[in-house]
A = this chain, B = another copy of it.
Amino acid sequence: MEIPQLIMLPGPTNVHPRVYAAMCKPMIDHRSKEFRVLYMRLLESVKKVFQTENDVFILTSSGTGGVECAASNLLLPGEKIILPVAGNFGERFAESFSNYGIKVIRINIEPGKSPKLEQIEAAIRNNPDAKAVAIIYNETSTGTTVRDLSKICKMAKDLGMITIVDAISILGGDDLPVDEWEVDFCIAASQKCLAAPPGLALVSVSRDAWKLIERAKPRSDYFDLIKYRKYRDEQKETPFTPAINLFYALDEAINIVLEYGFDKWIERHKITSKAYYSAIFAMGLPFLAEEWCRSNTVIAVKMPNGIPAKLLRELLAEKYRVVVAGGFGGLRNSIFRIGNMGLINPRDILTTLSSIESAFFELGYPIKSGIEAAIPILKNLD
């Protein structure tokens, strides 16, 4: 029966009815007082979730647009950056920079692992002329998080390099105090742990990042941050027509987060991810990520016994109406990924876990139940 699906993806997520209601507010002029009030308020809210006093901007694009914004504004063709690649999004990250003629010093990381301070340090030592270290904080394709991020940012800062952090699939789901950790350029998106609809990228820009941007005209017009800053400062507007309804939606989505409390929101993701890991461990299913770098926001689970992930996912989506993701590239059929993002709550987690158990039973591969392992962890969640 085609009831609405429960979206347990690493983005997009389930969206609160309040957010949909805000998205349908009457249309306004994007060159009006009404828009200026919305835009200025939203920029302040975005600063709160980045935990920064730096400039922030909202781009009408997917998260990848935010990445392109970094690549086209910060660096000049021929300049070097250090960039660990731990999965599919790392690959894309590297491609975005090299497309603009930037020389990418890759550090290849095995799937399931995450780059460590020592690896970045070695790369910096071999490339002291690099301008930046670019890190995918949470590799969505493998469910791993860079646990050394604060140390990496500190080291880069000490050595005169900026850090570019893709936090798309983690901002709001784990610690990321942009100012405290001195992240120079941070990228996030609307449809992940903030639980707004997809279509907006968020970026934060430090003073050191501005210094690089101001050296030359940005290569892209659409993602030109100098223009974004000028329009904000002179008119409190965006240079190009923004996705007004998505601005309203993001505004309300962040309101929900801030009403709950941003620290508690992050803490919630930590608790619920623990519930997932404990339950799935109890089911006897192995994880792709090594324990020390497991993500709070993306749980990547290896399929047992050679069963294709596609079979599990289709059964879950069609009969149980629970949507989880598959793997990328070579991992397409060998893992499935659960998003632990946004409006996460005990009911939906238990639904997801029990549906997975039921689906494995239907696929002729009964597994142990993990529900009992999840229950005590979820007990203290409000």
Contacts and interface: CB of A to CB of B under 8 A. Distances in A.
Interface in A17-37: 20, 23-24, 26-32
A310 to B, nearest CB: 11
A162 B95 CA distance: 29
B241 A198 contact: yes
A61 B63 contact: no
Interface of A: 4-5, 7, 9, 11-15, 20, 23-24, 26-32, 60-65, 67-68, 71-72, 92, 95-96, 99-100, 189, 191, 197-199, 217-223, 239-246, 249, 317, 323, 325-326
Contact of A12 (B20, B30, B189): B30
Contacts of A30: 12, 198
B64 A222 contact: yes
Nearest to A249: B245
Contacts of A28: 5, 7, 323
Most buried by B among A24, A96, A243, A246: A243
Nearest to A99: B221
B220 A32 contact: no
Rank and list the top 3 A-B pairs by shortest CB-CB distance, nearest first. A199-B243, A4-B26, A62-B240
A64 B65 CA distance: 13
Contacts of A245: 23, 197-199, 245-246, 249
